[in-house]
Structure 1
């Protein structure tokens, strides 16, 4: 006799899924997620070739009663819409981005953004000659069943003018509607776009917010054209299928401390804002100008203060395996437990120490004395820095690893008459041990203890310098 077998439902309720999906992401980050989707479309459209971002645009319109984002980045193929694009999560077999350097991993970005803003939305797309729209209604949200969404062909004026996608959200939540008519929120959103997508904007991508184009925030460090001039610390290595690139140096001469005070003297630029660490993952800036323990400040390194407003570090993680990047689902926060991040942090601190020491040595000297050392330098973004510095004498290259330490190459400017600071080393050892070392070093049992200790340090220093040269 067969026992009766019942089945327990194991799917999430729609109300729970939607509320939890949107809880931990800000409104601005949800909009940035939609811009990310536009850029992913441009990558897929290029089919492995280099993307000419000058041909692409993204337009965002915020109103009290609606949100719209539209692009010309290729649109959504019907097969993708049927099988993947509107699912609440990414299928394991969805390998559309296997050869693209993107940061999307979970397949929730578009849906999460829509649910964050309102209760009615329409996604209209044109891919090639195939145009259609997919409505997501409040009635569908309220229905406890996970019914399939309709795909409706578009004709005439309903079709988009060129291949791309348009997302419209209506029935906005009251708090969202208030944000959209708040000038401060619109300005902050534009700044976030300028920072997060700076690499794409610099390559010609047009992004508009309420009809105003967004200019990129430049994150750069100074590099001398002279090989003997000031040069950033540089490091590059592939770690677990992730290419890690680091540059640490000074930002702009306008950020150098003035003679009159200890604070920054920047003339309309963003030296102070971009000081600290900027972290890129596949061209997206995850964080910009971080000055906290997150990026090492105060952890074996001094806490950030205005003396360091000229110090800028840039690090980028690149990989076709998005799941290996040290970034969270919001794409605007770091996964600091990631092994690739922890390994990179060691080199980040190494570069920081060079320029923190630099600011300590120069802080009591006139600004004019400092700036003359930087007259032959120009600001460069991370990739240009790597390309320039990796070809210089003193750059070490082996097994795909590149490293340049400006301190070892003696190209970090020193104040005139600077002498290395000294510290007294005092320690005690048993007399018989000192006599044994004295006999070994000087062939005498009775050499003075201070001379024995001094000789031991000199020998250890010679070994240390040889090892540094070998590295």
Structure 2
């Protein structure tokens, strides 16, 4: 039994320093949003899928995560193998990652707080029901009653069943009820449900691409596909791989893809994934190198001219402690060795694309026949990242020789005179009258 030892009043050399549960729960849940808390619960499902299908790239077909939200309750269930009884008793409900825990290789749930923090955040009661091939159990917690007892920190297992069952019947179900007021109000909004679906679509894209299905309130989520525009040597995205030994029990690998996509200011920027979990989406800040310089390579501040930019950075390691995510997995820990290696690589991958987009923007002043980069983009097709060959630097065909620079000429004349001249030239539009009258004047006065 995990207990806080009360202060011995007879020992005047001791000072009480143990935490209260109420303070602990308040601090642990204060800085995480509801959507982020639900993502933490989903991470545990994905770790279950990884335990069931541990081979690199192995399909998750047949595995599913279902989420139900209402004003009254929250429920998440999966068929991803369940929580082994020994893991539940010794590790899964500890606050923090305990020594001796056999970490899932390539884990997404890294810090040992996600499930507890999320359930405390959601409601005043929660339950965890697990079914593995050799055991099933329930844990039911009255949060207020548990918080009021600062001595005993354990949860009680109920309905323990050690009979065998088929793998197809395994999984985990989490429930929360008597929801916190803010949670209940949030779950009643259609806008929250829509935002949650989109967040899952973005954050869990890699797991979905391997076949893991998600549905929210009985509606299936359609996965995204990350793509870049490509056209052979005319437009070739960068695809670079790195492997770094930075300590730990396994190397850190990085896959960087950088190029262009459709023009969308909201979608432009860098996407950063850690063990398949998207932790930065369309980032346009200094964190991913914008407004920064590295080894004589400088990147400007993001602006609308770069709305076609897309970059994807996948960081993976069997030792999840090497990854540069923060505890809510919504941003990067800037003090990590992994991030110090990542940032200059992002800057180096970004610069050639900035040069291309600057040149593309400059073509706005050219005649149509001279807009060669615009034509390259128009003819390019979207390719999935997996289909892109390795290439260290983004490249595009150089523009062929252009005509002379152009300057706009505009003037106003009486409408009747414009119409009369249009009739002489055999045209209808004032623009055509202006161009033909200029050509006539140039021919007569300059060429003679």
Is the alpha carbon distance of 1:26 and 1:295 closer, same or farther for their aligned partners in structure 2, counting shifts above 3 Å?
A: same
Residue of structure 1 aligned with 2:259, choices 229, 249, 254: 249
Counting only pairs closer than 5 Å after superposition, residues 289-300 of structure 1 correspond to structure 2 as 289-299=282-292, 300=298
How far off its partner does 1:248 sit? 1.2
Aligned to 1:110: 115
Secondary structure in structure 1 of the residue aligned to 2:396: coil
CA distance in 2, matches of 1:4, 1:135: 38
2:70, 2:187 within 8 Å by CA — same for their partners in 1? yes
Matched residues, number: 374
In structure 2, the gaps of 5 or more residues are 1-9, 293-297, 404-448
| Corresponding position: 1:31 with 2:38 | yes
Counting only pairs closer than 5 Å after superposition, residues 401-420 of structure 1 correspond to structure 2 as 404-406=392-394, 411-417=395-401
Secondary structure in structure 2 of the residue aligned to 1:37: helix
How far off its partner does 1:7 sit? 4.5
TM, length-normalised to structure 2: 0.78
Counting only pairs closer than 5 Å after superposition, residues 142-153 of structure 1 correspond to structure 2 as 142-153=148-159
Aligned to 2:305: 307
Secondary structure in structure 2 of the residue aligned to 1:104: coil
| Corresponding position: 1:59 with 2:91 | no
Instruction: Using the TM superposition, name which of 192-201 and 38-47 deviates more.
Output: 38-47
How far off its partner does 1:322 sit? 1.2
CA distance in 1, matches of 2:54, 2:12: 49
CA distance in 1, matches of 2:280, 2:402: 36
1:14, 1:145 within 8 Å by CA — same for their partners in 2? no
Counting only pairs closer than 5 Å after superposition, residues 234-383 of structure 1 correspond to structure 2 as 234-239=239-244, 240=246, 241-251=251-261, 255=262, 264=263, 271-299=264-292, 300-365=298-363, 369-374=372-377, 377-383=380-386
CA distance in 2, matches of 1:113, 1:192: 16
Residues 248-301 of structure 1, C-alpha deviations (whole Å, 9 max, x = no match): 1112xxx2xxxxxxxx4xxxxxx4433210001111111111112221112231
CA distance in 1, matches of 2:56, 2:289: 37
2:140, 2:156 within 8 Å by CA — same for their partners in 1? yes
CA distance in 1, matches of 2:64, 2:111: 25
Counting only pairs closer than 5 Å after superposition, residues 5-16 of structure 1 correspond to structure 2 as 7-16=14-23
How far off its partner does 1:182 sit? 0.7
How far off its partner does 1:18 sit? 0.4
TM, length-normalised to structure 1: 0.74
In structure 1, the gaps of 5 or more residues are 256-263, 265-270, 391-403, 420-471
Secondary structure in structure 1 of the residue aligned to 2:332: coil
CA distance in 2, matches of 1:199, 1:115: 28
1:362, 1:415 within 8 Å by CA — same for their partners in 2? no
Is the alpha carbon distance of 1:381 and 1:229 closer, same or farther for their aligned partners in structure 2, counting shifts above 3 Å?
A: same
How far off its partner does 1:146 sit? 2.7
Aligned to 2:390: 389
2:240, 2:390 within 8 Å by CA — same for their partners in 1? no
Residue of structure 1 aligned with 2:196, choices 189, 199, 202: 189
Secondary structure in structure 2 of the residue aligned to 1:215: coil
Superposition RMSD on alpha carbons, in Å? 2.4
Which one has a bigger Cα radius of gyration?
2
2:44, 2:108 within 8 Å by CA — same for their partners in 1? no
CA distance in 1, matches of 2:177, 2:210: 33
Instruction: Using the TM superposition, name which of 19-28 and 287-296 deviates more.
Output: 287-296
Aligned to 2:422: none
Aligned to 1:436: none
How far off its partner does 1:234 sit? 2.9
Instruction: Using the TM superposition, name which of 49-58 and 341-350 deviates more.
Output: 49-58
1:231, 1:389 within 8 Å by CA — same for their partners in 2? no
2:207, 2:276 within 8 Å by CA — same for their partners in 1? yes
How far off its partner does 1:169 sit? 0.3
| Corresponding position: 1:126 with 2:136 | no
